[in-house]
Amino acid sequence: MKAALFCTARYMGDARQDVWPAPADTYSAEVAERSMQTTLDQFRLADEFGFDWVTVAEHHYSPFSLTPTPMLMAAALTQTVKRARIAVLGPTLPILNPIRVAEEFAMLDTMSGGRVIAGLLRGTPNEYVTYNINPSESRARFEEAVELVRMAWTEPEPFGWQGRYYQYRSVSIWPRPAQAPHPPIYVSGSSPESGEYAARNRFGLGLAFTTLPLAEKSVAHYRACAAKFGWEPTSEDIVYRIGVHVADTDDQAVADLSHGPRHVGLSMRNRAVESAVAESGFYGRDAADQRNRLAPRDLKERIELGQILVGSPETVLKQIRAIHAKVGNGVIDLPLATQLGEPTSRAIELFGTKVLPRLRDLQ
């Protein structure tokens, strides 16, 4: 198994966490600079301690994440992270210009020497409010944009595009991706439609902010669809994202988690999610699934449901093995569960030196 460290560059100061969009009345440029530098330092540590990937993502209007343009953070990482792959999981494709996304990924792949992972995602419901895109067009925009990005990466001759949502007289991007034919692509697979889409296109599957029963069901559907389309995913085609905090003992890990703001405090984000769902116009099953995933739960239940890893290296290793036994993932993507200075740096070190080497035998 491979491990990725996911840092959202959370704002490390006083800010509203329970609403979206979050007001900026307490914003400090000094705190924001320190937050971003801390993120870069954490990624550097992850690279030094053997993590296979470092991960950035796109979010808007929230102190939860200071990377509304993750490509900029990834560009900085090409100069900071010298060994690990750089996963952009991802740009929110339907609200962006897909040609620009293709160009930026190609630049990153060239700058990094072919180390980029491309997560092409639809994004969370609130992202559509950000740039005033109709959420009912989400899936259709996404699928057209993905095809356009792939063609921009692989077609050597200039071409035109006349689609439903995107029209270009001529496309011929420079630079080209360093990886041939293009960087590995992952898409979200939480819904049956997304799982079938991933399987049909032979994309990797990403699962985030879910539960083990839902993830197990999603992976089984993905594998069944892949078989129907004539191929078999490997374990590395499946990425499972889960918050993590590792300390020298179980008691210390739990104590750390009770102090300070939680980076992936799912229950703390419920009111923000509700605001986003209401603003975006997403209703029905999508909204219900989101509420179910983010329902308030105590720590023990969240661990059992595969929503967070907490404990000593030995305990966290057992928790990861339990997830792998059900999901069969070959990559585990790890948002930091705390921002506590030295304890957080120690968590990265402990995972990299005490947990990660023992994950290598999981296939």
CB-count burial class (<10 Å; 0-12, 13-18, 19+) for 245? buried
**Model confidence pLDDT, tens digit, residues 211-242:** 999 999 999 999 999 999 999 999 999 999 99
pLDDT, tens only, 309-329: 999 999 999 999 999 999 999
User: Is there a contact between 256 and 247 (Cβ–Cβ < 8 Å)?
Assistant: yes
CATH assignment at residue 59: 3.20.20.30
Mean pLDDT of the chain: 90
Residues contacting residue 61 through CB under 8 Å, at least 6 positions apart: 20, 21, 22, 68, 126, 130
pTM: 0.91
Please say if the pLDDT value at position 304 is more than 60: yes
Confidence of residue 341 (pLDDT cuts 50, 70, 90): confident
The boundaries of the domain holding residue 64 are 2-359
pLDDT at site 297: 72
**Residue 130 CB: number of other CB atoms within 10 A?**
17
Beta strands 53-56 and 85-92 are: parallel
As given in the structure block, the two tokens for residue 224 are: 């069944």
What is the per-residue DSSP string for 251-306?
HHHHHHHTSS-BTT-GGGGHHHHHHHHHHHT--HHHHHHHHHHT----HHHHHHTT
Residue, of 281 and 350, whose pLDDT is higher: 350
> What is the number of domains present in the chain?
1
pLDDT tens profile 105-121: 999 999 999 999 999 99
pLDDT digits (tens, 9 = 90+) for 60-105: 999 999 999 999 999 999 999 999 999 999 899 999 999 999 999 9
35-58 confidence digits (pLDDT tens): 999 999 999 999 999 999 999 999
Name the token pair of 287. 């909204």
pLDDT higher than threshold 90 for residue 149: yes
Mean pLDDT of 149-159: 98
| Per-residue pLDDT band at 291 (split at 50, 70, 90) | low
Asked if residue 284 has pLDDT above 90, the reply is no
Query: For residue 338, what is the DSSP state?
Result: B
Structure tokens at 58: 């796109």
Q: Quick one: average pLDDT of 6-35?
A: 94
pLDDT at 281: 39
Query: Is the model's pLDDT at 287 over the cut of 70?
Result: no
Check residue 77 and give its pLDDT. 98
Q: With a cut of 80, say whether residue 269 has pLDDT above it.
A: no
Task: Give mean pLDDT, residues 297-314.
Answer: 94
